[in-house]
Amino acid sequence: MNMKELASLCGVSVATVSYALRDDTRVSEAVRKRIAQKAREVGYKTNPQNSALVRYRKGSSDALRPPTIAIVYAHGKTSRRSQLIQPHIKVLRRTVKPYGYRLKEFFLGYKPDSQEELLAQLRREEIRGIVLGWGEWQDRMEGFPWEEFAVVSAERNQIHPSLDRISMNHFSATDEAFQQLEESKVSRIGLICHTDLPLRVRKNIIGSYRMNVHRRDHWASDIPPYFYTLGESPEDFLEWFSQYQLDAILSHRIIDLTFFKDGGIRFPQDAQYAVIEIDDGGKGGESGVIGRDDLGRVLAETIAAKLHYDERVNPETEGNLILVDGYWHNGSTTSQ
């Protein structure tokens, strides 16, 4: 039972229930008593996280600190996945602050009892909101009592079927990149992805790529994706590039342009180059699709709303997938 459901039972707004349960005089005494009685009947209890938020916003003396939202990472602080999501976490942190929340980071790591330690700390600090970062979660959270928490996941792969996920719209981003490359009159577009690409994202990107190359008769559809490993030398890439006579490269994420330069490839002179998902706001000069602040903002607004309405995970329902669109950024790697 959450506040929204209690409001529906009482035939009033959520705001009225919120005021009534705090004994606020903006609601008549009769209505306050009726709502309090109904709350007792159905066993509804106020969420301490919301009470803390109210005290924080009012600036009362007993609000020692604002209520906390946990950012939980699957890997360590310096891991690639933990670092890649940081631009979005920065926006998340900035966006939840006006709602009265602060963020605290937790790094799960690989210790056998890491899940138990995390749960104990969340309970000890009375944290009820969780945002899950990018990472290889697999079954590492199996058996976790999700129903105790309000949860939003930024990881596209499903960690638990009942969790809401928020992700970049890889389909629309790939479509946008192809539309922009089409203006450059290219016909042989090769897809390059990192080897550590999450399985679900890999399927989405490759599937969208294949759909797009079949949209035009003059676009080559016989080019297999190239999987790039961080730190590799460019020899294998150059062999792929030459074998399929590419005039354009589409990358899922940013790859250091030095890698291509070391192989003697210049953009856009030797080929057009576009990126499907740019996380750094386009600071590096690559052309591609930028997510702006939308992913971090939607994560913030969603978890704040869940906490406000005490909307905890319901293991009997399937979570939603919310897709965030980006916009095209003209960099220096495509012809203007």
Alpha-carbon distance 194 to 286, whole Å?
Answer: 17
pTM of the predicted model, to two decimals? 0.75
- The residues near 297 (Cβ < 8 Å, ≥ 6 apart) are 91, 92, 95
Residue ranges of the alpha helices (H) in 194-266? 199-213, 235-243, 257-262
pLDDT at site 94: 95
Please determine, for residue 281, whether its predicted confidence score (pLDDT) is greater than 80. no
Mean of pLDDT over the chain? 88
According to DSSP, the β-strands at 327-329 and 287-290 are: antiparallel
- The residues near 157 (Cβ < 8 Å, ≥ 6 apart) are 137, 198, 199, 200, 201
Regarding predicted confidence, which is higher, 39 or 92? 92
220-257 per-position pLDDT tens digit:
999 999 999 999 999 999 999 999 999 999 999 999 99
- Report which of 319, 325, 327, 326 is spatially closest to residue 157, judged by C-alpha positions: 319
pLDDT at site 304: 92
131-183 per-position pLDDT tens digit:
999 998 888 899 999 999 999 999 988 999 999 999 999 999 999 999 999 99
Please determine, for residue 58, whether its predicted confidence score (pLDDT) is greater than 70. no
- Do the beta carbons of residue 171 and residue 321 sit within 8 Å? no
Which residue type occupies 128? R
80-115 per-position pLDDT tens digit:
889 999 999 999 999 999 888 999 999 988 888 899
Domains, the chain: 3-46 (no CATH), 68-169+294-324 (3.40.50.2300), 170-292 (3.40.50.2300)
Residue that is written with structure tokens 């707004």 in the block: 13
Q: Tokens in use for 238? A: 């150059």
Alpha-carbon distance 130 to 217, whole Å?
Answer: 47
